[in-house]
Structure 1
Amino acid sequence: MGEHVIRLPDVGEGVAEAELVEWHVKVGDMVREDTVLAAVMTDKATVEIPSPVDGEILWLGAEIGDTVAIGSPIVRLKVAGEGNTGHGEASPEPQAAPEASGQEEKAASAPDKAAMPSVSERGGEPAATPTPGPTTARQGGVRGVSAPRREGEKPLASPAVRLRAKEAGVDLRQVPGSGPAGRIGHEDLDAFIARGAQATRGSGLVRSDKVEEIKVVGLRRKIAEKMQLAKTRIPHITYVEEVDVTALEELRAGLNKQKAGSDRPKLTLLPFLMRAMVRAIAEQPHLNALYDDDAGVIRQYGGVHIGIAAQTASGLVVPVVKHAEALDLWESGVELNRLAEAAKSGTATREELSGSTITITSLGAMGGVVTTPVINYPEVAIIGVNKMMVRPMWDGAQFVPRKMMNLSSSFDHRVIDGWDAAVFVQRIKGLLETPAMIFVGE
């Protein structure tokens, strides 16, 4: 038998390191060739690392959230044959070793479970200790205590203890008992009250002091860094305007009905908004730009590359519809559907998740009345779509029901004046309220 060391492969052009975001195996697992061992992330693109050989996992070289350099060893396997460490290449050092020769002898003679090291194979964290059962017996002369009881289980206690508990408003089901069979004594009740126990008065409500530490890794860390960068460096101005989309919704329903049964996708609001943005950007091209504040340069783009902020199971990603100015309504819908599916399935490429010049953010039916969108740095504008609602609107003679929707849009106030932001949103509003104007001149 030999050992085979797997090193982090080159996962992308110009990438020197990657963040480990998921292990699919653990020490002791048997894997076959092409079994996925781990997933790493670079620039929002997740790459799976397969095993090139069959073997048994002996060692894992990083923890979730660690940044690993390309070429660094990440997995060591026991394989049939010589492996790839037989020609002078050093194997990674095990992460835990017995402290004394006597311990080594014990480890060699004990069963496999007893021979496990006292630190985890994934980075030295203390191994989990067995969870005690409902009661613990006398050990070393120390009397054990029982855990709080299950729903409906009657606690054992004397009438005097029950009376004291009733007067103190303490639910005895929540009091650990140190007596035989978990019997609750006066000292147990005193200790429970001294710990600051909250009176439950039979409601079954129990105070929780649980604190869970969750390491920020992978896509969530990328999102956090991007949001912090945007809010730290960009002075936002947010402009909110309501839009009457009654006519737009009638047009959308008619177009979808007309194309029912064809291979064209069902149109949502977003393709119409994209076409309206393209028309508005043609009149105010300085909003379709990136601001390099380090160089003091605004890069204004002719191509309109619209990022669509999309929520996935892993977190927020922004797939990009490239050259929206060259796509008609239906082509925009097709590309939106394709990118949304790629984002949700985690198969979107780095190219599909980068290169935007302006972004749309929408929470659909959860969009609320008003939001304050965070600009997708280093862009200078983001258009936020709020939820659509039927509201009574005054037409000059009476109140009539209209489908209304707010646009909450943010702009980089260093390069976009409030007036320009208002003109841009008002132009989009006019096109959406009179949707036929979207197609005039196309």
Structure 2
Amino acid sequence: MRNRARDLGVDLTFVPGSGPAGRITHEDLDGFIARGGAQPATAPAAGSTFARAEGTTEVRIIGLRRKIAEKMADSVRRIPHITYVEEIDVTALEELRAHLNATKAKDQPKLNLLPFLARAIVVALRDQPQINAHYDDEAGVLTQHAPVHLGIAAQTPNGLMVPVVRHAEARDAWDTALEIARVSGAAKDGSAKREELSGSTITITSLGTLGGVVHTPIINHPEVAIVGPNKIAERVVVRDGQMVVRKMMNLSSSFDHRIVDGHDAAVFVQRIKGLLEQPATLWMG
């Protein structure tokens, strides 16, 4: 049977067998050839676990989804990205966050990672104002911004949007959390105003619990940097020669290499790392 099928150029994998235990007979092979290699009428019905799928579906990318796609493509085309990844021990930060949430007032929001990361970015930018900037590559002009208008990349029913927390430098953890929730909610329900979706000077992109191990975020043009926290997970690490379990998080950040050198990108991320690992320093000075 195998020799005959090989001589005929037929792959027995596709020949349905009617013999005991599905064994392929000469009649099965003859019938398969007579049908031109097509499946018999007794092939699995549509909806069966192993039914063959046929056809294609064309979906037009239009409206907001197309604008998002064009903006992403433009950012990648125009900006030479450099991505720097660092792991951060957030054990102390998570302990502080849990304490603050357990003792918060009724009218205060529950704190997640973002208000602390926002503050760390604000503090780190003091020494590197060129990262809180817009770059007009056609005019060759870098505009550095004194206020930190923090973009928060948010997934909405209409696609990816970047609502803006204005003057993040002037907000404490509670106020930052409230404003993140407000502008993100407005973006998701479609009530956000134009000014709430534009004017960011640096962006955070977070996938929350789906944050993965590492990613390579795309800069929100004309900004020159984007910061991307990944998921927090318990890992075994070495501390003072001992193996201990710590809560660790990778931070994946991308920079416009025309403006930010690799050394400066590393210094910026290391500053954020130091602040998050010693969270008491976030609001000191």
1:267-297 deviations in Å (ceiling 9; x for gaps):
1100000011100001110000000001111
Residue 310 (structure 1) aligns with: 154
Following superposition, the deviation at residue 219 of structure 1 comes to 1.7
Residue 158 (structure 1) aligns with: none
The correspondence for 2:15, drawn from 168, 172, 178, is: 168
When residues 311 and 199 of structure 1 are mapped into structure 2, their CA distance, relative to the original with a 3 A threshold, is farther
Residue 436 (structure 1) aligns with: 280
AA aligned to 2:185 is: E
Q: Structure 1: how far apart are the matches of 2:188 and 2:156?
A: 5
AA aligned to 1:388 is: I
Tell me if the contact between 1:290 and 1:298 (Cα under 8 Å) persists in the aligned partners. Answer: yes
TM-score, length of structure 2 as denominator length: 0.85
Tell me if the contact between 1:242 and 1:405 (Cα under 8 Å) persists in the aligned partners. Answer: yes
1:258 aligns with 2:100: no
Following superposition, the deviation at residue 327 of structure 1 comes to 1.1
The correspondence for 2:78, drawn from 219, 233, 237, is: 233
Residue 123 (structure 1) aligns with: none
Tell me if the contact between 1:244 and 1:433 (Cα under 8 Å) persists in the aligned partners. Answer: yes
Residue 65 (structure 2) aligns with: 220
AA aligned to 2:136 is: D
When residues 194 and 383 of structure 1 are mapped into structure 2, their CA distance, relative to the original with a 3 A threshold, is same
AA aligned to 1:226 is: K
User: Where do 5+ consecutive residues of structure 1 fail to align?
Assistant: 1-166, 172-188
AA aligned to 1:213 is: E
1:194 aligns with 2:36: yes
Q: How many residues align?
A: 258
Q: Structure 2: how far apart are the matches of 1:198 and 1:429?
A: 63
When residues 325 and 206 of structure 1 are mapped into structure 2, their CA distance, relative to the original with a 3 A threshold, is same
- Structure ranking higher on relative contact order (CA contacts 8 Å, 6+ apart): 2
When residues 394 and 342 of structure 1 are mapped into structure 2, their CA distance, relative to the original with a 3 A threshold, is same
The correspondence for 1:292, drawn from 136, 160, 163, is: 136
Q: Structure 1: how far apart are the matches of 2:184 and 2:227?
A: 18
| SS at 1:439 equivalent | coil
1:379 aligns with 2:223: yes
1:273 aligns with 2:130: no
Residue 28 (structure 2) aligns with: none
AA aligned to 1:439 is: W
Tell me if the contact between 2:88 and 2:273 (Cα under 8 Å) persists in the aligned partners. Answer: yes
When residues 195 and 405 of structure 1 are mapped into structure 2, their CA distance, relative to the original with a 3 A threshold, is same
Tell me if the contact between 1:321 and 1:335 (Cα under 8 Å) persists in the aligned partners. Answer: yes
Q: Structure 1: how far apart are the matches of 2:37 and 2:227?
A: 52
AA aligned to 2:94 is: E
Q: Structure 2: how far apart are the matches of 1:207 and 1:192?
A: 21
1:301 aligns with 2:145: yes
Q: Structure 2: how far apart are the matches of 1:308 and 1:400?
A: 33
Following superposition, the deviation at residue 206 of structure 1 comes to 2.0
Tell me if the contact between 1:170 and 1:198 (Cα under 8 Å) persists in the aligned partners. Answer: no
Tell me if the contact between 2:82 and 2:255 (Cα under 8 Å) persists in the aligned partners. Answer: yes
Q: Structure 2: how far apart are the matches of 1:244 and 1:395?
A: 11
Q: Structure 2: how far apart are the matches of 1:170 and 1:222?
A: 53
Tell me if the contact between 1:170 and 1:199 (Cα under 8 Å) persists in the aligned partners. Answer: no
Following superposition, the deviation at residue 328 of structure 1 comes to 1.4
Residue 132 (structure 1) aligns with: none
TM-score, length of structure 1 as denominator length: 0.56
When residues 396 and 170 of structure 1 are mapped into structure 2, their CA distance, relative to the original with a 3 A threshold, is same
Residue 347 (structure 1) aligns with: 191
Following superposition, the deviation at residue 344 of structure 1 comes to 1.4
Q: Structure 2: how far apart are the matches of 1:192 and 1:314?
A: 52
When residues 340 and 191 of structure 1 are mapped into structure 2, their CA distance, relative to the original with a 3 A threshold, is farther
Tell me if the contact between 2:15 and 2:32 (Cα under 8 Å) persists in the aligned partners. Answer: no
Q: Structure 2: how far apart are the matches of 1:438 and 1:200?
A: 69
User: Where do 5+ consecutive residues of structure 2 fail to align?
Assistant: 1-13, 19-30
Residue 22 (structure 2) aligns with: none
Q: Structure 1: how far apart are the matches of 2:155 and 2:218?
A: 15
Q: Structure 2: how far apart are the matches of 1:192 and 1:269?
A: 66
The correspondence for 2:254, drawn from 403, 410, 432, is: 410
Residue 210 (structure 2) aligns with: 366
Residue 11 (structure 2) aligns with: none
Tell me if the contact between 2:212 and 2:230 (Cα under 8 Å) persists in the aligned partners. Answer: yes
Tell me if the contact between 2:32 and 2:38 (Cα under 8 Å) persists in the aligned partners. Answer: no
AA aligned to 2:61 is: V
Aligned pairs for 1:420-431 (under 5 A) are: 420-431=264-275
AA aligned to 1:212 is: T
Q: Structure 2: how far apart are the matches of 1:198 and 1:357?
A: 63
The structure where helix makes up a greater share of residues is 2
Q: Structure 2: how far apart are the matches of 1:359 and 1:415?
A: 16
1:351-395 deviations in Å (ceiling 9; x for gaps):
100000100000001010000000001100000110000001111
Identity %: 61
Q: Structure 1: how far apart are the matches of 2:268 and 2:255?
A: 11
